[in-house]
Amino acid sequence: MRASVFTDRALGRYAGRFVWLSIDTEADGNSSFLTKYPITVWPTLLVVEPRKESVALRYGGGATVAQLEKLLVDAEGAARGTGDAADEGIGRADRLANEGKAAEAAKAYEAAIAAAPPQWSRLGRAAEALTAALQGAREHERCARRALELYPAVRGTYSAANVAATGVSCASEMAAEQPDRPALLQSLERAVRETLEDEAIPLSADDRSGLFLALVAAREAQKDDKGARELRERWAAFLEREAAKAATPEQRAAFDSHRVGVYLALKQPQRALAMLEQSERDLPNDYNPPARLALAYNALQQYDKALAASDRALARAYGPRKIGILRTRADIQAASGDLPAAKRTLEQALAFAQSLPAGQRDERTIASLKKRLGTS
């Protein structure tokens, strides 16, 4: 969004109505902000009412310019307050979501939808937020059912992508023995395919990529390895076409993460090398290209190159993302047979994770590192 949405001149009309602020969630100085406004999805758009410093709107995920404009108008209405039960309800739900209270937020979004008048303009956003909150609360079956129930109301709109994709993800997470899982998976997968193939919906490339991700998850949940591979090949071709259209290096590099993931899953990590080397040349201060090169070289069993790329990434990285780079480095060291070095790297990652300030410190990450070290 930073490279292709926030640079759009159409947003100039909002300059006097909003104060624009970008928060680097990795920087130490922003920990107090993150304590008050926790971020678990990147990107997340927050619109904060300045007098009370309360969240007027919270939206997780990317957006096109048109989607963003709609969200800004929605946020203005929420900040003013309408007195309408549904509008007030979604505002209350957004505040609960901001506090990390996913289960309570889900109930509030349900109440807002139940109170909504016909043709409610915020139904799409409420449906997206409800399914996301249910997923966050790990209420996977309810998430899948509500996504399937809400999908007809948002079919053919921006919101269809997130509702259908989240629903498929939730159905995929249901226990295999749950009797309704196959039917939910199949119905939601049809909804995702319908949305992906509907060219009339002006979705961002990132949203369409997310639909491929959801379809792959559905195929894997149904033990269809052949279908998952065919989807990944289509997905890779789509990402390559979109990257080729990019007007700037930053826009092109925005596709690197998904491309690396697809290439690794296809067991074709060599396909990532040229693009990541180009991204590292174009964006010399960004830790992401060398961090991703470390993954690719590790998959190729070229451990010296993987460690060199890891060195470059660590030299540029800061904040919580550094933990992921250290974990990859430990994987490289373990794969190369240097288990003592891998243990030292994990201990370094744990110490760093424990040193992070509130707002950036993640207890689940700390527990995961302890478990891997055998110290939990």
pLDDT in tens, 101-129: 999 999 999 999 999 999 898 899 999 99
Q: Which pLDDT score is estimated for 40?
A: 79
Q: Residue 346 sits in which domain range?
A: 318-376
Whether 202 is in a domain gets the answer no
Can the peptide bond before residue 43 be classed as cis, meaning omega within 30 degrees of 0? Answer: yes
The secondary structure of the chain in percent helix, strand, coil, rounded to multiples of 5, reads: 70, 5, 30
- 57-105: pLDDT as tens digits: 888 877 888 888 888 887 887 777 666 888 889 989 988 988 889 999 9
Percent with pLDDT over 70 in the chain = 98
Rounded Cα distance, 106 and 93, in Å: 7
Length of the chain: 376
pTM over 0.75: yes
Name the one residue in this structure whose structure tokens are 């946020």. 75
Whether 369 is in a domain gets the answer yes
Rounded Cα distance, 145 and 261, in Å: 29
Q: Which pLDDT score is estimated for 5?
A: 77
Token pair listed for 246: 């990019």
Whether 349 is in a domain gets the answer yes
Q: Is the distance from CB of 26 to CB of 318 less than 8 angstroms?
A: yes
Whether 215 is in a domain gets the answer no
Residue-by-residue pLDDT tens, the chain, 376 positions = 677 778 888 888 888 888 888 899 888 889 888 888 888 778 888 888 888 888 888 888 778 888 888 888 878 877 776 668 888 899 899 889 888 899 999 999 999 999 999 989 889 999 999 999 999 999 999 999 999 999 999 999 999 999 999 999 999 999 999 999 999 999 999 999 999 999 999 888 988 999 999 999 999 999 999 999 999 999 999 999 999 999 999 999 999 999 999 999 999 999 999 999 999 999 999 999 999 999 999 999 999 999 999 999 999 999 999 999 999 999 999 999 999 999 999 999 999 999 999 889 999 999 999 999 998 6
Token pair listed for 326: 């250290």
Q: Which pLDDT score is estimated for 82?
A: 61
Token pair listed for 312: 């470059």
Q: Which pLDDT score is estimated for 332?
A: 98
Say how many domains are in the chain. Answer: 1
Q: Which pLDDT score is estimated for 19?
A: 87
Whether 56 is in a domain gets the answer no
Q: Which pLDDT score is estimated for 376?
A: 61
H helices of the chain, in order, are 31-36, 65-80, 85-98, 102-115, 123-136, 140-154, 158-173, 181-197, 205-221, 225-245, 249-253, 256-265, 273-282, 288-299, 303-316, 321-335, 339-355, 363-373
